[in-house]
């Protein structure tokens, strides 16, 4: 397969804060050869489009930007628009608030070559705060802590070997793979990448994590943003589960089981409810004060913010699961 030219796809909506860094990180890739950057904008209301058009005038000679529009705003629709427009046989995805290391494209393509392009490859996420506040620092720690998000290898893996996994962030794949899988499922307004990987594995493809790729991802800066993000994740995870009629990675089920158990006990056994909450709080306190991270603020303040981040993360995802299931039941009965 000819890998001289690579298509990088970026779905965006109101990313004026990060889009310059993202595009510049692609512009400065160590890989030689032509790179087309296809940005699909969901009708941003901020300066995202203006920034992209300005950056397009200052790229290296073998780089180009194509700015497309998706009035529907949904991420899977933007991804399909970008993949359809891609003129290269290899597609590398990144999002509008993630900065790529210089080796992202070269390592992703090299890993694809090792499996004859029969699969999807990606790297690890290094989570950075979305703003310079103690709350934002705590959130960025929570979303990459095993107590916060379980054993998601792309956030917790510390090894040096390329490993097979269930999913990778964003990912690189052949355009033929996208065509074979029928594109991203546009009915899933979240969890579309996990669904894409499930369908790839069902076709006998491999999902490989290359730990030498470290992508800088900016976490949500506030608790409200965190709640909305993980509620959406939880809601659409249940749709993925229903679609494939199988339980996803066990880590995805824990918030649902925990939240549903609390609701059940609140009605039928308040004593056990109190006991479960005490145990959860004790574990959360333990990890909150054990977690160490260089911060400007006093450790006690950071630990308290982290202590609040964990339940927001867990309950938003769990309630998203519950309302996703309720929506499915209502839809089927109707």
CB 195, CB 243: distance < 8 Å: yes
**pLDDT of amino acid 157:** 75
**Other beta carbons within 10 Å of 1:** 12
Summarize the confidence of residues 151-163 as an average pLDDT.
80
pLDDT in tens, 188-232: 888 899 899 999 999 999 999 999 999 998 889 999 999 999 999
The pairing of strands 34-41 and 5-12 is: parallel
- The percent of residues above 70 in pLDDT, for the chain, comes to 97
Query: Which has more pLDDT, 217 or 249?
Result: 217
Summarize the confidence of residues 89-115 as an average pLDDT.
94
- The single residue listed with the structure tokens 């390592």 is 107
Q: Which residues contact 224 (CB under 8 A, 6 or more apart)?
A: none
CA–CA gap between residue 78 and residue 299 (Å, rounded): 41
Token output for 93: 């995805």
**pLDDT of amino acid 294:** 55
Q: Is the pLDDT of residue 314 over 90?
A: yes
Q: How confident is the model at residue 247 (pLDDT cuts 50, 70, 90)?
A: low
Q: 60: buried, middle or exposed (CB in 10 Å: 19+, 13-18, 0-12)?
A: exposed
**pLDDT of amino acid 281:** 94
**pLDDT of amino acid 329:** 81
Q: How confident is the model at residue 256 (pLDDT cuts 50, 70, 90)?
A: confident
pLDDT in tens, 63-95: 999 999 999 889 999 999 999 999 999 999 999
Q: Is the pLDDT of residue 334 over 70?
A: no
The pairing of strands 5-12 and 90-93 is: parallel
Summarize the confidence of residues 120-124 as an average pLDDT.
94
Q: How confident is the model at residue 271 (pLDDT cuts 50, 70, 90)?
A: very high
**pLDDT of amino acid 155:** 74
Q: Is the pLDDT of residue 8 over 80?
A: yes
């Amino acid at each position: 397969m000819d890998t001289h030219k690579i298509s990088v796809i970026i779905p965006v909506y109101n990313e004026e804060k990060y889009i310059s860094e993202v595009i510049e990180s692609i512009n400065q890739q160590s890989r030689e050869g032509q790179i087309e950057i296809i940005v699909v904008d969901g009708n941003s209301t901020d300066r995202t489009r203006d920034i992209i058009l300005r950056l397009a005038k200052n790229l290296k000679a073998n780089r180009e930007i194509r700015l497309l529009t998706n009035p529907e705003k949904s991420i899977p629709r933007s991804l399909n628009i970008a993949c359809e427009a891609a003129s290269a046989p290899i597609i590398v995805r990144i999002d509008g608030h993630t900065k790529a290391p210089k080796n992202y494209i070269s390592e992703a393509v090299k890993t694809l070559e090792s499996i004859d392009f029969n699969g999807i490859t990606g790297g690890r996420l290094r989570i950075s705060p979305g703003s310079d506040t103690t709350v934002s620092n705590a959130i960025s720690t929570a979303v990459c802590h095993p107590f916060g998000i379980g054993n998601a290898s792309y956030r917790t893996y510390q090894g040096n070997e390329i490993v097979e996994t269930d999913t990778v962030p964003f990912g690189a794949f052949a355009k033929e793979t996208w065509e074979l899988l029928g594109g991203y499922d546009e009915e899933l307004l979240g969890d579309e990448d996990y669904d894409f990987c499930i369908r790839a594995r069902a076709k006998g493809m491999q999902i490989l994590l290359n730990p030498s790729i470290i992508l800088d991802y900016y976490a949500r800066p506030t608790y409200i943003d965190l709640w909305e993000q993980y509620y959406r994740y939880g809601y659409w995870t249940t749709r993925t589960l229903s679609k494939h009629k199988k339980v996803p990675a066990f880590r995805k089920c824990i918030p649902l089981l925990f939240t549903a158990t609390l609701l059940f006990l609140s009605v039928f056994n308040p004593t056990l409810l109190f006991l479960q909450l005490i145990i959860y709080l004790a574990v959360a306190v333990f990890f909150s004060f054990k977690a160490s991270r260089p911060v400007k603020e006093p450790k006690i303040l950071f630990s308290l913010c982290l202590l609040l981040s964990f339940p927001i993360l867990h309950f938003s995802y769990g309630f998203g699961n519950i309302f996703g299931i309720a929506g499915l039941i209502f839809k089927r009965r109707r």
